[in-house]
Amino acid sequence: MKKIIAGLIAGVLAFSLTACGKKSDDSNKIKIAYLPITHSLAVLETADEFAEKTGLQVELVKYGSWNELMDALNSGRVDGASVLIELAMKSKEQGIGLKAVALGHIDGNVIITSNDIQSAEDLKGKTIAIPHRQSSHNILLNDALAMAGLTIDDINVTELTPTEMPSALASGQIDGYCVAEPFGAKAVSLNAGKVLFKSEELWENSLCCGLVLTDKFIENNTDNAKAFVDSYKQAGKNLTKEKTLETAEKYLSQEKEVLELSLQWISYDNLDITEDDYNILIEKVKSYGLSENPPLYADFVKNDF
């Protein structure tokens, strides 16, 4: 009997120690969701450097679509994400506890069309793909159409995953698309399409992807959250041309020439979300019907750790 009791006590102690160890491990880990695109490179670069500098670990969780990523973020299976800011805004609008703490990148979007399209006017009646209705790519497409006196009703819009778009354009299934890189550069490298517009030609200081953290993670791990965001912004500043290409080759399954072209269109050196730029985004999501009640800057953007 004494042996049985002793065994039970030992088992309870072992379980307690294991549980405590697990809790400790979790408190030193940040789970960040991402898609393998150039817009995520700052967070990928941060993960490489963060553990060495702070002792905290970034667990990168890769997804193949925005819907899968947002399901993980909204359900709390991850602590944060590099994500389309409009998607995070919509979740915030629906009551999900999220904060945008930094931009993902600066510029880095292009509208790609078949080689016979010469202007925005030529988009009328064409089929153009975007990755999601709640995206800056949708906004940029609307901006391009507005330049020609057209609206989204003058074209056929379809949603495709980023990886599908270059081949869909090459096969004639679509006439163009706007999506995160390097998938625009992929079509150019294949001579299947060309750049009709760069994002800065349509919308100066455009907001696209952002680094988003859950309210729960920020509240329960404020010091870690601050350290992570500080490291993330510094990583953006450290992403020189050579370093950016090195990180892209490590995480993105694309040819070097595709990445080199794509990285000409993007930068990461100042990832703060300003109130002026965010308010322009609010105006655009309202104007183009993406959202009727987007969250205000003070409610959604966190700069004050």
- Quick one: pLDDT band at residue 270, thresholds 50, 70, 90? very high
pLDDT at 27: 66
Whole-prediction pTM value? 0.88
pLDDT at 47: 86
What's the CATH number of domain 109-202, 1.10.10.10, 3.40.50.300, 3.40.50.12280, 3.40.190.10? 3.40.190.10
Q: Among the ranges 9-23, 44-58, 232-246, 287-301, which has the highest mean pLDDT value? A: 287-301
Q: What are the pLDDT digits (tens) for 129-164?
A: 999 999 999 999 999 999 999 999 999 999 999 999
pLDDT at 3: 45
- Quick one: pLDDT band at residue 25, thresholds 50, 70, 90? low
CB atoms within 10 A of CB 228: 28
Q: Cα angle at 254 between 163 and 207, to 5 degrees?
A: 60
- Quick one: pLDDT band at residue 221, thresholds 50, 70, 90? very high
Is the pLDDT at 224 greater than 80? The verdict is: yes
Domain regions of the chain by residue span = 32-107+206-300, 109-202
Long-range contacts of 73-77 (CB under 8 A, 24+ apart): 73/33, 73/98, 73/212, 73/214, 76/214, 76/216, 77/31
Q: What number of helices (H) and strands (E) belong to the chain?
A: 14, 12
Q: H-helix or E-strand containing 245? A: helix 241-251
Given the structure tokens 């070097």, which residue do they identify?
256
Same CATH fold, 109-202 and 32-107+206-300? Answer: yes
Is the pLDDT at 52 greater than 60? The verdict is: yes
Nearby residues of 277 by Cβ (< 8 Å), 6 or more positions away: 205, 207
pLDDT at 267: 95
Mean pLDDT score, 38-51: 88
pLDDT at 192: 96
Report DSSP letters for 97-135, one per residue.
-EEEEEES-EE-EEEEE-TT--SGGGGTT-EEEES-SSS
Give the β-pairing of 266-267 and 106-107: antiparallel
Q: What are the pLDDT digits (tens) for 82-134?
A: 999 999 999 999 999 999 999 999 999 999 999 999 999 999 999 999 999 99
DSSP symbol at 295: P
Whether domain 32-107+206-300 has CATH 3.20.20.140: the reply is no
pLDDT at 26: 62
CA of 16: how far to CAs of 20, 297, 303, in Å?
A: 6, 44, 38
